[in-house]
């Protein structure tokens, strides 16, 4: 298994790299198909975020879907441990799901689970509710001086079914997943609602 460590806005010592390699070897017992794990260490430059000063993102590549996990803490070691625990949990759920689809149980179809689910309206702040000073952060206008993380990422996307999108969302460990619907060919987002329900938002680009 190849391990690649990158850093942004901070330095990474050889001691930490060795610690990362030692820690990540435990992932192989959860997924023997692992080929590569990328570790990105990023330092938050906002002093108000001292308790989340270091963010560690793990991305695992195997013969199956890509799995991502991230965590933030005061130091590199703590953030790494938290991200690693989350990735292990996701790998365990993925393994359980594979066993389910091999016939140990009969899962309820996603179509049945989503029947009658309506997308929830987004909350909108009324105009004039915040009288704080506007400021520009890159291309975005921000109200007030609160912390803001601006990140841009571009991923290759192949059209997939709703079942596949839900599977990918569970592996990534997020509460939403953006994808291109294979049937409608529209950009869509599946998201987690209360309990075990899911919602779907689809964009009509016509």
The residue ranking higher by pLDDT, 44 or 77, is 77
Residue 57 and residue 113 share a domain: no
> What digits encode the pLDDT tens for the residues 148-157?
555 667 777 7
Stretch 160-172: mean pLDDT, rounded? 84
Overall domain count for the chain: 2
Q: How far is the CA of 102 from the CAs of 92, 98, 106, 199, in angstroms?
A: 15, 6, 9, 26
Most confident segment among 107-111, 115-119, 196-200: 196-200
Taking 50 as the threshold, does the pLDDT of residue 199 lie above it?
yes
The whole-chain average pLDDT of the chain stands at 75
Give yes or no: residues 75 and 31 share one domain. Answer: yes
Three-class DSSP category at 63: coil
Residues 128, 131: Cα–Cα separation, whole Å: 6
Q: What is the pLDDT of residues 47-59, one digit of tens each?
A: 666 667 888 999 8
Maximum alpha-carbon separation in the chain: 58
Domain end residue (candidates: 74, 104, 134)? 104
53 shares a domain with 26: yes
**What mean pLDDT do residues 79-108 have?**
72
Residue 171, domain CATH: 3.30.505.50
What is the C-alpha to C-alpha distance for residues 54 and 109, in angstroms, rounded to an integer? 40
CA–CA separation, 167 and 123 (whole Å): 27
Q: Verify that 11 and 82 share a domain, yes or no.
A: yes
Which pLDDT belongs to residue 47?
64
**68 lies in the same domain as 112:** no
CB 189 within 8 A of CB 201: yes
Confidence of residue 189 (pLDDT cuts 50, 70, 90): very high
- Note down the domain range covering 159: 108-117+155-206
Query: Does residue 137 form part of some domain?
Result: no
My answer on whether 58 and 112 are in the same domain is no
- Residue 39's pLDDT is what? 92
The CA distance from 174 to 25, in Å, is 24
Q: How sure is the predictor about 126, in pLDDT bands with cuts at 50, 70 and 90?
A: very low
Q: What angle do CA 74, 18, 62 make, to 5 degrees?
A: 90
**In percent, how much of the chain has pLDDT > 90?**
9
Q: Inform me whether the pLDDT recorded for 67 exceeds 80.
A: yes
Average pLDDT rounded to a whole number, residues 85-90:
87
Q: Which two tokens stand for residue 33?
A: 């198909």
DSSP bridge pairs for 147: none
**CATH number (domain holding residue 68):** 3.30.160.100
The answer on 112 and 55 residing in a single domain is no
Q: Is the pTM of this model over 0.95?
A: no
In sequence order, the 6+-apart residues with CB closer than 8 A to the CB of 161 are: 181, 182, 183
């Amino acid at each position: 298994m190849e391990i690649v460590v990158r850093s942004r806005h901070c330095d990474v010592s050889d001691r930490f790299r060795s610690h990362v390699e030692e820690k990540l070897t435990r992932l192989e017992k959860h997924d023997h198909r692992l080929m590569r794990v990328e570790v990105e260490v990023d330092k938050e430059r906002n002093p108000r975020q001292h308790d989340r000063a270091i963010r560690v993102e793990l991305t695992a590549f195997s013969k199956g879907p890509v799995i991502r996990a991230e965590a933030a803490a005061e130091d590199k070691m703590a953030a790494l441990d938290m991200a690693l625990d989350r990735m292990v949990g996701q790998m365990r759920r993925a393994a359980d799901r594979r066993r389910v689809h091999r016939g140990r149980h009969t899962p309820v179809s996603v179509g049945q689970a989503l029947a009658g689910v309506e997308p929830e309206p987004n909350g909108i702040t009324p105009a004039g509710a915040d009288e704080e000073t506007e400021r520009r952060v890159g291309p975005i206008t921000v109200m007030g001086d609160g912390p803001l993380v601006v990140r841009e990422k571009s991923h290759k996307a192949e059209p997939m079914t709703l079942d596949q999108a839900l599977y990918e969302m569970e592996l990534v460990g997020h509460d939403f997943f953006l994808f291109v619907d294979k049937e409608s060919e529209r950009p869509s987002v599946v998201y987690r609602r209360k309990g075990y329900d899911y919602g779907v938002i689809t964009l009509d680009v016509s």
